[in-house]
Amino acid sequence: MTKRAFLLLSVLLLSVFALTGCATTRNIQGKPIISTNVNKIINGTTTESQIISIFGPPYAIEKNPLTPGEVTYKYRFYYHKYVHLGNEILTSSTRKYEQKLNVVIKNGIVIAHSFTTRGNTSLKHILKRHKIQD
């Protein structure tokens, strides 16, 4: 390939990327789960109505037919930021943050709960940037 052909091809590819541009997409699902609220849960003491008062309605409720009277309330928060380059030819997730809270309730009382977080973006950054308050 001659230098002139290589230069022409380079300019053409650069023009294609410039015309298609770069875009950022954010995917936010659910409401952030504040860890200080999770610390308020006391197994054997906290009631179902207190959980709903603190966290709102869960996104999902699981019932196990083998344990009557027991349900699991599931709360989730997802924040994903993607950068698209060249009409989505190249897509990269630049920031991810996920929270999961499971609360097991039997006969109206919390008997167990678990809370996990995962990702590379601090929750404080997300709360401030998206003006989400507790």
Work out the widest C-alpha separation in the chain, in whole angstroms.
79
Q: For residue range 71-127, list pLDDT tens digits in order.
A: 999 999 988 777 766 555 555 556 788 899 999 999 999 999 999 988 865 555 665
Flag whether 6 is in a domain. Answer: no
- State which residues form the domain around 47: 22-129
CB atoms within 10 A of CB 23: 13
The answer to whether 44 and 110 have CB atoms below 8 angstroms apart is: yes
* Residue 2 banded pLDDT, cuts 50, 70, 90: confident
Tell me the Ramachandran region of residue 126: left when phi exceeds 0, alpha when psi lies from -120 to 50, beta otherwise: alpha
Flag whether 85 is in a domain. Answer: yes
Total structural domains within the chain: 1
Dihedral (C-alpha) 108, 110, 112, 115: value to the nearest 10 degrees?
120
pLDDT, residue 99, reads: 92
Q: For residue range 22-76, list pLDDT tens digits in order.
A: 666 777 888 889 889 999 999 999 999 999 999 999 999 999 888 888 999 999 9
Flag whether 10 is in a domain. Answer: no
Task: Report the alpha-carbon distance of residue 75 to residue 32 in Å, rounded.
Answer: 9
Flag whether 12 is in a domain. Answer: no
The answer to whether 77 and 31 have CB atoms below 8 angstroms apart is: yes
Flag whether 1 is in a domain. Answer: no
What number is the average pLDDT over the span 6-26? 63
- For 64, the 3-state DSSP assignment is coil
* Residue 18 banded pLDDT, cuts 50, 70, 90: low
